[in-house]
Structure 1
Amino acid sequence: MAAINRDPRTAPHATRNDTLLALGSAAHAVVVALVTDPARRPDALGWTLLLAAQLPLVWRRRRPLLALTAVVVLLLPYHSLDYNHTAPTPAAYIALYTVAATCRPLFTVLSSGTALALAVSVMLIVNQKQAVDLLRISGWAIAVIFVGIDVRYYRQYVAAIVERAERAERTREEEARRRVAEERLRIARDLHDLLAHSITLIGVRTSVAAHVLHADPDRLDRAAVAAALDDIAETCRTARGELRTTLEVLRDHGTPDSRGPLPDLHGLDGLAEAARTAGAKVELTVAAADVPPAVGAAAYRIVQEALTNAVRHGGRDDLGIRVGVHAGEGALRVTVTDDGTGGGGGHEGGSPSGGGSGFGLVGMRERARSVGGTLDAGPLPGQGFEVSAVLPLGGTT
């Protein structure tokens, strides 16, 4: 079955196999010529033509039409001299089959019909009785031709099935790679949102503790230092917990979509409180219920990143931030506005204060696009910065 399914032109060891086939055909021709019809046993010229007709079979796969032509050219004088007409039959059938199995059907019918017509014409001139016998057995030649054509169609059918299977496999591999890339991007966004927010808060609270220590060493406010250190410790514990949840996704060998619990709008109070402990005045307004989990998680991460940028780049000690989350008209609208002077990290190539890398704004836009929403961010007239997102409530859950 492997030999039938495979294209003969690409088969391994083709020349060796065809050489053995030619030798076998030659041996058969010699035996038939010696055993049957002694009256028409070939002489020296006949043996030369008979054996020479076997040689084209060696390159029948590479040049099927040329091989058939060579066989016909050698056998026409052989038959015209009325030598044994049965001996060269296998070589002719092999050449006909090769043309039928490798060439287009119409071309095969035309070329094979021409060869048979020439053979019958020669036989009619030489021996009409033999010509009638050739016409009687020409059905075998026609059968060989159509067997070759059927094999050709079968090989094309098998090749099409294999190609579809390979295409389906490539599609599955591409889908798997796409899922892996999406998951890696999601984890990268989560790590960025988590670490940027936590590290910013730790940095602000450390600065507060350092300021208290250096402002008036003789009148050290131990309570303020202790409160700042407690805030730092609490932020570290929260970050460690969220980081552990994120990393568990990487270690999970279950379903591809297995994930930790998504953050939602209920966590906005914690974000606002964390920003307040960093010195900002945060006004939070939430008017939304029954928000899809993916939309709630996107809103949470957008607010988290916007607060982080505002605290980091606000440029004021009395920074004011207004956070609004409102549901209506089929969408969740999120706005984070500050009155700072640092631009809120709104420039993708870096903040005006020189601290931003641009990934925060890119990440917020990706969050919005992941649920089919949009996000705009930019400085306000005069001073301040605003992040505004519209997230459809029919987004991916």
Structure 2
Amino acid sequence: MVLGLAVLSMVGVAPGREQAPWIQILAWIVLVAFVATLLWLRRRERIAYEAALTEQAARAAVAEDRLTIARDLHDLVSGSLGAITVRAAVAQRLETDEAGLRTALTEVEATSRAATADLRSMLAVLRGQGAEPLPASFSPAGPSSLADAIEQAAAETRELGLDVRTRTEPGDANSAASALALAVVREGLANAARYAGPGAVDVTVRADDELLRVDVTDAGPAPGWVVHPGTGTGLMSLAERSAAVGARLSAGPRDGHDESAGFRLSARIPLNTEVRP
């Protein structure tokens, strides 16, 4: 009503007074045009806003897809390549006879073939030619199988010359929490192999109240060990996965100051994690 009075006033029409019909018709035409213009402007703004939201969602989806691909590639390939590098380095340091060197070469070949198969599987997925592979570090390990999965990871690391000691008491951790715990253990063992070399590593996975506490601690670099860095994205990916399920991840020197005295990777994971890592 107020808008109508304003428009009528603009065309010189005062309420309560007789006006020529054409003036009234003109006033209504102006009023309708004005309202239509407002509605069109609001519609245009809404369309622009929805387009901006769609573009933003698309960019976010692309970024998430890239992160997922990067994580899966790391989980499928980086661990195997790291094992090859470390096994070859250990063989050069410790193997002195032909039999030992042949064994090392056989292990390197087997690991290389497995890494190639994993990479081929991932490329098939990216080309839309295969089912999505499940990264090795996120095998569906439930409470009953987590100890076995950790022991298998420890055994693989022992083959690289490390003395891995494990203690696993998962309690009532569900499969998602167990899978993340296994990923932390694998990353910790891989980093110990790359940065510390042949030496002692302690792995502890223990349920406490509502948390699954995971700690992987090495004793520092072995004498004369040359560091073999990886891709540099493992801990970053692990931190992203941990944050997504409300877990806390920390990594740093065992004594809080000097990495030469040892390095610790720790995670505190809710026992009933709902989101699959």
TM-score higher than 0.5 here? yes
| Cα distance between partner residues in 1 of 2:134 and 2:232 | 27
Does the alignment pair 1:340 with 2:220?
Answer: yes
User: How far does residue 184 in structure 1 lie from its aligned partner after superposition?
Assistant: 0.9
Does the alignment pair 1:261 with 2:134?
Answer: yes
Give % identity.
Answer: 31
2:98 match = 221
| Cα distance between partner residues in 2 of 1:338 and 1:212 | 20
1:387 match = 265
| Cα distance between partner residues in 2 of 1:205 and 1:273 | 13
User: How far does residue 299 in structure 1 lie from its aligned partner after superposition?
Assistant: 2.7
Q: Tell me: CA distance 1:371–1:247, structure 2 relative to 1, closer, same or farther (3 Å).
A: farther
1:365 match = 239
Does the alignment pair 1:234 with 2:114?
Answer: no
Counterpart secondary structure, 2:246: coil
- CA deviation vs aligned residue, 1:240-286 (integer Å, no higher than 9, x gap): 333334334423389xxx84335234543332222111000112333
Looking at secondary structure, tell me which structure has more strand per residue.
2
1:102-251 aligned at under 5 Å gives the runs 107-113=6-12, 135=18, 138-211=20-93, 215=96, 220-222=97-99, 224-251=100-127
| Cα distance between partner residues in 1 of 2:109 and 2:59 | 39
| Structure with greater Cα Rg | 1
- Structure with larger RCO (C-alpha < 8 A, sep 6+): 2
Q: Mean alpha-carbon deviation: is it higher for 152-161 or for 245-254? A: 245-254
| Cα distance between partner residues in 1 of 2:202 and 2:94 | 28
The AA in structure 1 aligned to 2:220 is G
What TM-score results when the alignment is normalised by the length of structure 1?
0.56
- CA deviation vs aligned residue, 1:280-335 (integer Å, no higher than 9, x gap): 01123333356243x444333322221111111115x3x11122223343333221
1:303 match = 185
| Cα distance between partner residues in 2 of 1:164 and 1:322 | 58
Q: Tell me: CA distance 1:179–1:333, structure 2 relative to 1, closer, same or farther (3 Å).
A: farther
The AA in structure 2 aligned to 1:221 is E
User: How far does residue 356 in structure 1 lie from its aligned partner after superposition?
Assistant: 6.5
Counterpart secondary structure, 2:115: helix
Q: Tell me: CA distance 1:209–1:253, structure 2 relative to 1, closer, same or farther (3 Å).
A: closer
The AA in structure 1 aligned to 2:265 is V
User: How far does residue 389 in structure 1 lie from its aligned partner after superposition?
Assistant: 0.6
Counterpart secondary structure, 1:113: coil
User: How far does residue 395 in structure 1 lie from its aligned partner after superposition?
Assistant: 4.0
| Cα distance between partner residues in 2 of 1:210 and 1:354 | 14
Q: Report the aligned-residue RMSD.
A: 3.3
Does the alignment pair 1:284 with 2:166?
Answer: yes
Q: Tell me: CA distance 1:326–1:173, structure 2 relative to 1, closer, same or farther (3 Å).
A: farther
Q: Tell me: CA distance 1:378–1:169, structure 2 relative to 1, closer, same or farther (3 Å).
A: same
1:378 match = 252
Looking at secondary structure, tell me which structure has more helix per residue.
1
The AA in structure 1 aligned to 2:118 is E
| Cα distance between partner residues in 2 of 1:299 and 1:241 | 25
- CA deviation vs aligned residue, 1:5-30 (integer Å, no higher than 9, x gap): xxxxxxxxxxxxxxxxxxxxxxxxxx
Tell whether the 8 Å contact from 1:212 to 1:225 is kept in structure 2 after alignment: no
The AA in structure 2 aligned to 1:112 is V
The AA in structure 2 aligned to 1:377 is A
User: How far does residue 160 in structure 1 lie from its aligned partner after superposition?
Assistant: 2.3
The AA in structure 2 aligned to 1:187 is I
What TM-score results when the alignment is normalised by the length of structure 2?
0.76
| Cα distance between partner residues in 2 of 1:292 and 1:184 | 26
Q: Tell me: CA distance 1:356–1:234, structure 2 relative to 1, closer, same or farther (3 Å).
A: closer
The AA in structure 1 aligned to 2:216 is V
Counterpart secondary structure, 2:110: helix
Counterpart secondary structure, 2:164: strand
